[in-house]
Every structure is written in structure tokens, then in C-alpha cells.
Amino acid sequence: MISKVLYKYFLFFYKVLLRRVRLAHGCHGKLQKSPPLEKLSNSNQAIVCDVEGGLLRSSSTFPYFMLVALEGGGFFRGLLLLVLYPLLCCVGCELGLRVMVMVCFFGIKREGFRVGKAILPKFLMEDVGLVGFEALNKGSKRVCVSRMPRVMVEGFLKDYLEVEVVIGRELKEFHGYYTGLMEEEGEAMERLDLKELMGMGDGVVGMGGYASSLHHPLFSLCKEVYLVSEIEKRKWQPLPRAMYPKPLVFHDGRIAFKPTPSSTLSMFLWLPLGVALAIARAVVFLFLPFKLAIPILALLGMNNTGRCIPRSSSPSPSSPQLFVCNHRTLLDPLYISAAVKRNLTATTYSLSRMSELLSPIKTIRLTRNKKLDREKMEKVLQDEGLVVCPEGTTCREPYLLRFSPLFAELGREIVPVALDSRVGMFYGTTAGGLKCLDPLYFLMNPIPTYRVEFLDKVDTTSIEGRGCNSVEVANYVQEKIAKALGFECTSLTRRDKYLMLAGNEGFVEAKRR
């Protein structure tokens, strides 16, 4: 009896979804005669682009609301949104949108909302289609409209795609907190200067999707409208990273995958096992010697690759070594210690007290006072090996931040270490969350991967036979590690990272001049 009820339940939803898919594919008769998006030519016209219909490869907004729910409200709010997904498939687009807004934003503090600028741009950029991006850039001025609230898309569109005008509905608030309600679509149009828009260039051209774009009142003002179907968008290539108008160096948040309904369900099913597995991995890390820990961790799903330390750079008890590495997670010094099979000392800036207490190796907290920090490091190097991360903070993307030159002023030969980590479910770093949970999130991944590659020693007194100062040595080591990893060097710093993710400052030129 129960199986029959479940069968009818899923059959009903299947028919509803099938009907919605057919509508999304452009089964509208005359609308299919609109010019295809690829035929939009360069002109002195303003382009009105529907973000979901004409720019992104997928028209579904559910993953982006799920990111808001998980990152802005926590796992319980995300689970509630996932449970409501079958209902969202049955109701109309407008009602479904309002339900998602209510679930994701109700009670969220407006001042502390960082998802739109620090988290969503990464996922939205990865969903941008090459065809849609090229079409958008053909206009003299770009105007983007979105079904999502403006606070979710404005940072992405203006900061990363250099869009001049963003039209989206505002969220209502009460005493600094979002109420979960949106304004009407007409209210967003009232704020737009239509005379100025219509007077730009030789008119206005619209681009979007068959199913989602023509309902917007702004498209009725367009001289021409270019449309694309969902089937055509599936054939689009993603926008290559090299074509990003602004480099995507920093982003925040814990979720490392696009949370579609199926992938989000998989995450929630994995969580209980992931927590247990993370605890088991942490116990092995903390209490077993490296010779035993490494093979056991491999059996527990941790994948470690890399090149062994060069014989000429091998440390010895009589000659403590200085290891200089790029910074990927808080576990960097542990992996280097495991590779050399001896406990090293790690330098830290903002390690939580809990992480310090649980660390199986010694840590020294730096103060950012150059003289005091140098004295601390020199004292450690008299008897022990030392691991230094001169970037000062972590970076997830294939970039290296500027290296602080302090390590090059210690008068020691150094061993550069190239590190890279890969995760499939959770990021093990954060700029705005609890840092003491960073290792736990990294260890909760089904198969976290670490690459550790030791490079040849570098003399801090000369580079390729010529004298040099500490800044030149730091830049040389940065370039050496970047080359080994296939990363790009930047002049960005820890301060730049936190200002960008907090939304308090614009972009900084990424490449060193």
C-alpha cells in the first residue's frame, strides 16, 4: 500500500517536472522564431540581459538559494529548503521564488550578510556560458535583470562582469534584519531611469531565455530580443578562467560543490559518516607516530601525493632546517612534518587556542612585530626545524599571495615546499567562520587530497650567483613554488583578502607589476 502511494507521489511530480521542462525548452510556438543569441552583433546599443535566461548555463536558481541557506543560515535552514524542493517544483515560479526567499533570508542580519559578495560569485562565474558572456559584451552598455534578489547578484555582476546597471528586487527588513519578504517587480522598475536607458546608443536589445525572460517588463521596451532555449544552453562551454574580466582570487564559505538538489541530498546523507570519519582521522593525526599514521590515513581515504624531499635538502638533527611553503590549510605543517618524518615547529598568526591545544606539533604565535618575530624564529631554529607560511593566510585558487620577506632575513638556507589541496565537499578554510573548525571540515571530505613537493634549497644570500636582498629572495621563492604548482604569482596580501571578502574595498590588481 505504501509503495503504491509513493509511486503515485513521484509519478505526479515527474509529470509536473516534465511539463515545466517542456516550457523551459521553448515550446511556445511563435517565440521560437526569435533570432538566436549567437547572431547578436556588435553595436552601439544597450543590452538588457536576463541573468538566468541568457547568461548562465542553467536557469535554476535553487543552488544559489541553497548556498544562501547553508552559508548564511546553517545546515538546518538548508535541510528545510531541500525538504521543500518537491513543493517548489509544483507551485508557480513566483510563489516558489518567494518561498525560497522566506526560507533563506528570514531573520538574517542585513549588515553581516556576506554571501552575495564573498561566496556566490565563484559559483555564478563557473556557471556563466561563453556564448552568453560574449553576447553581453557586444553592447555599448550592459543592463542585467535577475529573478533573484539584488543582494545576491549585484556583487557578482558589477565586480566580476563589470555590468553597469543591475535590476533586481530588494528585500524588506525590520530593524536591520531581513523579514524574508521581497518587493514587487514593479517597484524595482520604478527606480530605473527609463529615459536614460532608452536614450543610450541606438536603442536597447534584449537577450534571454524562452521560458524566463519575456515576462520582465523591461523586455517590452527592447527593439530586438534574442532568445536561447535550455537545450541550446546545455551545449554552451563554460567561460574559461583566462577570459574572466577580473581574476577570481578570493572567495569564502564552506561548501565546495554546486548544491543542486541531488548533490545537496548526498551531502546530508554523508554528514553523519563524514563527522565520524573526521574524528577518526583526527585521532590518528594526533596520537599516532607519522610512520603509522600515514598508511592508516591512506586506508581512511586521505590521498597524499608529491615528490620526496631532495637528498641535498634532507634535514638532520645537527642542522635544523627552515621550510618555506605556500599556505593552503592549517594542516600544511603537519603534512610537511609527516613527509620528513619528524616533528617540526610551525609559525602562526591567527590560530585559535583550540587548534593550538590540539596540534600534535609545536606552534609559535607571531605578533607582526618584525623584530620580535625574527627573534622567536631564530630561537627555534637553534634546535628545531621550522615551517613558515610567508603568505600569512590561505588561498584556495591557483594563485600565490605576496611572500613576506622575514624568512629571508634569518640568514639560513631554506627548503621551498609546494603545497596544494583538493576537496570535493567542504572547504577547510574560512575568512568569516570559526577557524577552529577548519581542520574538521577538511577531514570531513570523502577523499581529501594533499600534494606536497619539496624543491631544491635556496641560498638567502644570492640568487643564481648574484647578491640580493630579502625582498628579492621572497619573490624568487614565490615564483619557484608557483612554477612547481602551475599557479600564478600575485602581489595581494592577507589584508587585501579580508577587505575583499568583507566587501569593504574594491579589487586590487592581481599581477605584480
**pLDDT of 40 higher than 50:** yes
Separation between Cα atoms, residue 330 and residue 354, nearest integer Å: 13
> Angle at CA 265, nearest 5°, toward 395 and 155?
40
- Amino acid 443: pLDDT: 95
- Amino acid 182: pLDDT: 93
Separation between Cα atoms, residue 186 and residue 189, nearest integer Å: 5
- Give the tens place of pLDDT for each residue, 331-344: 999 999 988 888 89
- Give the tens place of pLDDT for each residue, 93-103: 889 999 999 99
Report, as an integer, the average pLDDT of 339-354.
80
- Amino acid 392: pLDDT: 87
The amino acid occupying position 191 is R
- Amino acid 201: pLDDT: 52
Residue, of 360 and 438, whose pLDDT is higher: 438
405 and 474 Cβ atoms separated by less than 8 Å: yes
Separation between Cα atoms, residue 280 and residue 443, nearest integer Å: 9
- Amino acid 212: pLDDT: 67
169 and 192 Cβ atoms separated by less than 8 Å: no
pTM of the model as a whole: 0.86
Residue located via cell numbers 548555463: 57
145 and 164 Cβ atoms separated by less than 8 Å: no
- Amino acid 478: pLDDT: 96
**pLDDT of 56 higher than 60:** yes
**pLDDT of 311 higher than 90:** no
Separation between Cα atoms, residue 71 and residue 65, nearest integer Å: 10
DSSP structural state of residue 467? E
443's CB contacts (< 8 A; 6+ apart) are 277, 278, 281, 282, 428
**pLDDT of 358 higher than 70:** yes
The amino acid occupying position 218 is L
- Amino acid 5: pLDDT: 46
**pLDDT of 32 higher than 50:** no
**pLDDT of 3 higher than 80:** no
What is the DSSP code string of 269-285? HHHHHHHHHHHHHHHHH
Domain boundaries, the chain: 27-243, 261-502
What is the DSSP code string of 132-166? HHHHHTTSSEEEEE-SS-HHHHHHIIIIIS--SEE
Q: What is the longest distance spanned by two Cα atoms in the chain?
A: 84
- Give the tens place of pLDDT for each residue, 221-252: 788 888 888 888 889 999 999 999 999 999 99
Residue, of 162 and 45, whose pLDDT is higher: 162
**pLDDT of 27 higher than 50:** no
- Amino acid 199: pLDDT: 57
- Amino acid 195: pLDDT: 61
- Amino acid 160: pLDDT: 93
- Amino acid 468: pLDDT: 85
For the chain, the distance separating the N- and C-terminal CA atoms, rounded to the nearest angstrom, is 71
Nearest Cα to Cα of residue 120 among 144, 150, 155 = 155
If you average pLDDT over each of 181-195, 264-278, 370-384, 433-447, which comes out highest? 264-278
Strands 171-174 and 177-182: antiparallel
Q: Which of 193-207, 355-369, 482-496 has the lowest mean pLDDT?
A: 193-207
Q: Per DSSP, what are the bridge partners of residue 325?
A: 417
**pLDDT of 487 higher than 80:** yes
**pLDDT of 272 higher than 90:** yes
Report, as an integer, the average pLDDT of 363-383.
84
Mean pLDDT of the chain: 84
Report, as an integer, the average pLDDT of 403-417.
89
- Amino acid 373: pLDDT: 86
Nearest Cα to Cα of residue 197 among 155, 166, 228, 171 = 166
Question: What confidence tier does 2 reach under pLDDT thresholds 50, 70, 90?
Answer: very low
- Give the tens place of pLDDT for each residue, 129-184: 999 999 898 888 888 999 999 999 999 999 999 998 898 899 999 999 999 999 88
- Amino acid 294: pLDDT: 87
Q: Does domain 27-243 have CATH number 3.90.320?
A: no
